[in-house]
């Protein structure tokens, strides 16, 4: 049995790669460390984005674990252009997973890299792992295990948020455990 704790990062100052956590986000990261500490976590994977690493750093330090950065956990880029109607375009990308905007990545491509990450993790020796990502990619990771996750569920996520995916004999269950 594998337990995969899928974590959305804590509150950040913005969306760019280098955006750090806010002061509230740093407090959330410390709370997250306490929340995870008695769960026998054996490995920590994170998006290379600063806000994701800062979210899990207090836990990793407390647990004596190395944060393994993985580009496949990086946030999906909708487009490299600013659109005034970006929210509508995001919604359409959940209606048509192959939709790819200029300089962006389709949900289909993002799910393929998420699937690649999950496939790798499922072959690892560790049974209890944490992976830290971002809203859109977290939603897609969850969708790999339960296809109910989509646009509405993306906006229901909190910062941070934690879901437990339990995989046993090719069967998976998804449960939100963050309170």
Sheet holding 67-69, edge to edge: 67-69, 43-46, 128-133, 2-8, 161-168, 171-176
Compute the mean pLDDT over every residue in the chain, rounded to the nearest whole number. Answer: 96
What is the token pair recorded at 43? 């490995």
Q: Provide the residue-wise pLDDT of the chain in tens; the chain has 179 residues.
A: 999 999 999 999 988 788 999 999 999 999 999 999 999 999 999 999 999 999 999 999 999 999 999 999 999 999 998 889 999 999 999 999 999 999 999 999 999 999 999 999 999 999 999 999 999 999 999 999 999 999 999 999 999 999 999 999 889 999 999 98
The Cα 43–Cα 21 span in angstroms is 22
What is the token pair recorded at 135? 């809203």
Cβ atoms within 10 Å, residue 171: 8
pLDDT at 73: 98
Give the dihedral sign, CA 153/57/108/89: positive
- Specify whether the backbone of 177 is left (phi greater than 0), alpha (psi in -120 to 50) or beta: alpha
How many separate domains does the chain show?
1
Prediction pTM value: 0.95
What residues make up the domain containing 17?
Answer: 2-176
DSSP assignment of 24-46: HHHHHHHHHHHHHTTS---EEEE
Q: What digits encode the pLDDT tens for the residues 86-109?
A: 999 999 999 999 999 999 999 999
End-to-end CA distance of the chain: 24
Which CATH number do you get for residue 23? 3.40.50.1240
Using a 10 angstrom Cβ sphere, with 0-12 exposed, 13-18 middle and 19 or more buried, the burial of residue 29 is: buried
- What single-letter DSSP state applies at residue 5? E
**Main-chain dihedrals φ then ψ at residue 130, nearest 5 degrees:** -115, 135
């Amino acid at each position: 049995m594998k337990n995969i704790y899928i974590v959305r990062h804590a509150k950040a100052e913005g969306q760019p790669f280098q955006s750090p956590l806010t002061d509230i986000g740093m407090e959330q990261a410390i709370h997250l460390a306490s929340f995870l500490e008695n769960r026998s976590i054996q490995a920590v994977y994170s998006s290379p984005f600063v806000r994701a690493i800062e979210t899990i750093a207090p836990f990793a330090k407390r647990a004596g674990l190395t944060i393994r950065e993985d580009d496949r956990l990086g946030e999906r880029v909708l487009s490299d252009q600013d659109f005034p109607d970006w929210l509508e375009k995001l919604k359409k990308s959940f209606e048509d997973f192959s939709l790819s905007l200029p300089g962006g990545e389709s949900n289909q491509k993002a799910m393929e890299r998420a699937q690649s990450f999950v496939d790798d993790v499922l072959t690892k020796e560790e049974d209890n792992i944490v992976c830290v990502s971002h809203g859109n990619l977290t939603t897609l990771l969850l969708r790999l295990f339960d296809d109910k996750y989509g646009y509405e569920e993306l906006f229901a996520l909190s910062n941070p948020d934690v879901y437990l995916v339990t995989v046993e004999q090719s069967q998976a269950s998804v449960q939100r455990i963050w309170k």
